[in-house]
Structure 1
Amino acid sequence: MQQDFDLIVIGGGAAGFFTAIRCAEKNPAMRIAILEKSDKVLSKVRISGGGRCNVTHACFDPTEMVTHYPRGQKELLGPFHTFLGGDMMGWLEDHGVPTKIEADG
């Protein structure tokens, strides 16, 4: 049985699902498949942040945010100017997922 897709996302983790959802929002007619090699999708999301799903740092300045990433600072600075932690929190809230900033950020 052959299936045709407009987009195939490799990896059923948080980034893969976020990418697939954002693409579907931008183009609802797009046929999207997410491929994951293991039998569990989003498994790291369930355990991140001690089981509470740690999604981002409470940092809203791109130049400060890159300091949390020892590798790839130069490469991440541009994308962080486009979409930062506050944007992620807003996107989650818009989709009915409440967020909380812990005291330690």
Structure 2
Amino acid sequence: MKLVSFNQWALFTDIEMKLVPILACMETRAINIDASVFLKFSDILKSKLTKLEKKIFEEVGHSFSINSHVQLRQVLYEELKLDEEAETPSKDKK
């Protein structure tokens, strides 16, 4: 099954399938959605994400692909050594 091979099965069963009854109810009751509201919300989220990424890059000292597991692991564990810090508790953690 393609969902399993792309590691999307949990997303499908835990989120998407749980929305089916809600969407069916909305459809039978002719509930309309204002797409412009969702587009505005999307823009707000993109802006916040961009600000968060900028803050992350400033803290690390360089940019990297946050979506790359390899690069994120390198930054968190090799550069910032967060796994070592977790073993020795400190009050001034970022």
Q: TM-score, normalised by structure 1?
A: 0.23
Bigger strand share = 1
Specify which structure has the higher proportion of helix: 2
